[in-house]
Amino acid sequence: LSLDTVRDFLTREEDTIVFSLIERAKYPLNRPAYDPVHFGAGAGQRLNASFAELFIRESEAVQSKSGRYQSLQEIPFFAHRVPFALAPPYNFTRELYLAAASVNVNDAIWSMYFSELLPVLTKNGDDGNYAVTVDSDLACLQALSRRINYGRYVAEVKFRDDQQTYTSLIQAKDRDALMKLLTSEAQEDVVKKRVEKKAIVFGQNVTLDGPIETGVNNTNQANFKIDPSVVYKLYDQWVIPLTKEVEVEYLLHRLD
């Protein structure tokens, strides 16, 4: 684990996030899937949960049983832990400090995704394809959660690289100073510009005639599958600030 390897991980996760957003944007908003009372007297109403929530709970139970959460990189949105039983355990290397390893901001990711991101990512409309739609929501949520909660690994590396300074700030519980110390504005700028460019490059229609259009200049906004500025904003306003929040929380528990 080094700053280079954690940055490589975050860079590769950008591809996963952009592709998953492109997939979700294939479907209209499909609002009834998110409305707890829509499905009448069905399970959703009994549990006061939306179809999306029920689908994600059930999917996470299957994935938990299959061992997904044996890896500390993966954190479920619903804390229920169905015993892991379908495959033999794998002995993952433990790079995180155990008392801080469960720090996460999944609740904030959940509400940001449904109330802020979905309305600007999708077109209005209802085509009834609720299961495939919320399956693509789950893919987005898992990618965002993995990326943002990876702040734990980033913080671990930064702590090991400068133990003395971090230790005194952690002992003083000085959140603001920790935030300042772990921030690299130059790096954040690179990340935001790169992820916007990925939305442009990955979101184009590919045809056999004509040149491959990869420049930012000759691109027609209307041709992109997702709006690149939405992806820039997603990183600027939520992904990066939440990652840093995870970093600070992790550090505050790093000496427990």
Contact residues toward ligand ISJ (CB under 6 A) are 7, 10, 154, 182-184, 187-188, 191, 240, 243-244
- The residue length of the chain stands at 256
Q: Shortest gap between Cβ of 37 and ligand ISJ (angstroms)?
A: 37
Residue 24 vs 244, nearer CB to ligand ISJ: 244
The phi, psi pair for 241, rounded to 5°, reads -60, -40
Going by C-beta distance under 8 Å and a sequence separation of 6 or more, which residues neighbour residue 38? 32, 44, 50, 51
Q: Could you give the CA distance from residue 163 to residue 113 in angstroms, rounded to a whole number?
A: 35
Residue 168 vs 184, nearer CB to ligand ISJ: 184
Going by C-beta distance under 8 Å and a sequence separation of 6 or more, which residues neighbour residue 195? 14, 17, 18, 231, 232, 235
**What secondary structure letter does DSSP report for 73?**
T
Q: What is the CA radius of gyration of the chain?
A: 20
Residue 163 vs 183, nearer CB to ligand ISJ: 183
Q: Shortest gap between Cβ of 200 and ligand ISJ (angstroms)?
A: 19
Q: Shortest gap between Cβ of 185 and ligand ISJ (angstroms)?
A: 7
Angle at 163 between CA 157 and CA 167, to 5 degrees: 115
Q: Which residue is nearest to ligand ISJ (CB)?
A: 243
Residue 25 vs 154, nearer CB to ligand ISJ: 154
CB distance 191 to 179 below 8 Å: no
Dihedral of alpha carbons 16, 19, 21, 27, sign: negative
Q: Shortest gap between Cβ of 127 and ligand ISJ (angstroms)?
A: 35
**Residue 38: Cβ within 10 Å count:** 15
Q: Could you give the CA distance from residue 107 to residue 253 in angstroms, rounded to a whole number?
A: 19
Q: Shortest gap between Cβ of 153 and ligand ISJ (angstroms)?
A: 9
Q: Shortest gap between Cβ of 179 and ligand ISJ (angstroms)?
A: 9
Q: Shortest gap between Cβ of 216 and ligand ISJ (angstroms)?
A: 21
Q: Could you give the CA distance from residue 220 to residue 57 in angstroms, rounded to a whole number?
A: 39
Q: Could you give the CA distance from residue 75 to residue 79 in angstroms, rounded to a whole number?
A: 9
Residue 134 vs 252, nearer CB to ligand ISJ: 252
Residue 112 vs 240, nearer CB to ligand ISJ: 240
Residue 56 vs 195, nearer CB to ligand ISJ: 195
